[in-house]
């Protein structure tokens, strides 16, 4: 009798180990994320710099996440003062992430970039010519809740036009606010 009780206890304990995987466990979670560069608003509250308009190359961002892998598209433009500070930047790439703590995550990835004018950062001006390049980036994200997070990133931009190559390092000057739609 004791042997049967022991065997039944072993079977009951081992059932979760050998249970069948449910269909929801294998389906990746797909999420849309929409964001905007809120650096100008943040600089009104906390004046970090006198040049509040130099907030990085992008203004708007759209992301499509599949678990920890994210496809991303960013765009930014200033066409108001065409001769002095006009620029157009567009980037498409991928982003990976790793959770650090309950609300904190680190992100990193690669973007392909097309840029006309500048990257909207002091010392990085391409004149009136366009550039194609790639950008390696790393960033930090804080999740307010499941739908809203704020992020910033630093990037290294490599570009080439004819025989002239350029490397630009952009510190984390852009602050983005993203909204996640499940």
- Listed in order, strand segments (DSSP E) in the chain are 30-37, 60-66, 69-78, 87-99, 104-121, 124-143, 148-161, 164-170, 175-181
The 10s digit of each residue's pLDDT in 100-126 is 988 999 999 999 988 877 776 656 666
Q: Quick one: pLDDT at residue 173?
A: 74
Inter-residue contact 100 to 138 (CB < 8 Å): no
In this prediction the pTM is 0.74
Q: Quick one: pLDDT at residue 167?
A: 82
The 10s digit of each residue's pLDDT in 116-175 is 777 766 566 666 567 788 999 999 999 999 899 999 988 888 887 767 778 888 877 788
Q: What CATH number belongs to 30-181?
A: 2.40.160.20
Q: Quick one: pLDDT at residue 23?
A: 45
């Amino acid at each position: 009798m004791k042997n049967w009780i022991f065997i039944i206890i072993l079977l009951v304990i081992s059932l979760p180990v050998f249970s069948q995987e449910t269909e929801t466990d294998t389906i990746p979670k797909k999420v849309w994320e929409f964001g905007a560069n809120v650096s100008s608003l943040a600089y009104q509250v906390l004046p970090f710099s006198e040049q509040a308009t130099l907030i990085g190359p992008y203004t708007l961002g759209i992301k499509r996440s599949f678990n920890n892998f994210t496809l991303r598209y960013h765009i930014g433009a200033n066409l108001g003062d065409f001769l002095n500070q006009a620029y157009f930047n567009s980037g498409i790439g991928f982003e990976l992430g790793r959770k650090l703590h309950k609300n904190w995550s680190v992100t990193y990835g690669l973007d392909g970039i097309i840029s006309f004018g500048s990257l909207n950062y002091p010392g990085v001006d391409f004149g009136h010519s366009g550039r194609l390049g790639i950008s390696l980036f790393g960033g930090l994200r804080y999740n307010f809740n499941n739908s809203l997070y704020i992020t910033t990133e630093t990037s290294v931009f490599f570009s080439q036009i004819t025989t002239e190559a350029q490397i630009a390092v952009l510190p984390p000057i852009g602050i983005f606010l993203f909204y996640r739609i499940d």
